[in-house]
Amino acid sequence: MFRVGLVQADIRTGDKSGNMAHYAEWLEREIQEPVHLLVFPEMFHCGFSPAVADDAEPENGDGVFFLYMTAHRFECDVVATLPVRHNGKIHNRLVWFSRDRILGSYDKRHLFIGEEEFFTPGTSRTIVSTLGYRFLPLICFDVRFPEWSRNHVTEGRFDYDCLVYTANFPSPRENELLTLARARAVENQAYAMVVNRTGTDGYGRKYAGGCAVISPHGEIEAQTTPTHEEILFHSCNFDTLKPLRELFPIATFW
């Protein structure tokens, strides 16, 4: 079984040091048994704001160092996104850490309305192989684009076993996030994990969380309550993927 921890956080806008201190204390209190993967919401330590140019940091900045230390402390993989400055451009970058190194990174491809003022979109997907499984990490608005999450099959091998969506979906569209993620799981015969923030940001936008683990049948196996901070722990049985794909080989028709 593959045990995950999905972190539904109330991110304080622009308070990077405060958010990271809160995470550190929270994780120490909540993690009582081993976990394979921890996933934080999009823009995990600063939230979204017009001050993204000030929040952006180098590839080896404080946010990345915090993720490294968290992976090392809990001996697990850690995933989050943050604004990263690279070659004079700012990217909404997802970083995937193992205990001792970065396994992969992904720059958000589909920028939501207004994000293009600050961020440069990415151009390619990243498949992360870790702990015996393969993952496709994507970011928020990407969930609306089926072709970007397409699980291609080459000589019987699927691109990935699990989608990981880290997001900042506001309350008015919370149902859309889970509906779309469930569709992506079904059509790609893969698990899906959704991690969304909760609370109210510094500009009055409300978020209702909605962290969830979704089976390849589109069933919600586990879900957070919407109105407060919570770490959702759940064990996924990826062994169910092989018989499903053999019995009902949808993806092989693409």
Sign of the four-CA dihedral 53, 59, 61, 67: positive
Catalytic entry in 140, 162, 211, 236: 140
Q: Rounded to an integer, what is the distance from CA 105 to the centroid of its chain?
A: 12
140 is catalytic: yes
Strand ranges in 60-161 using DSSP code E only, listed in sequence order: 77-86, 89-97, 102-107, 128-130, 133-139, 153-154, 157-158
76 is catalytic: no
- Single out the residue of 170, 145, 184, 11 nearest to residue 83, CA to CA: 11
- What amino acid occupies position 65? F
Catalytic entry in 46, 57, 76, 108: 108
Other Cβ atoms closer than 10 A to 24 = 14
d(CA 97, CA 29): 21
Tell me how long the chain is: 254
Catalytic entry in 42, 174, 229, 230: 42
42 is catalytic: yes
Tokens 């900042």 found at = 168
- Active-site residues, by number, are 42, 108, 140
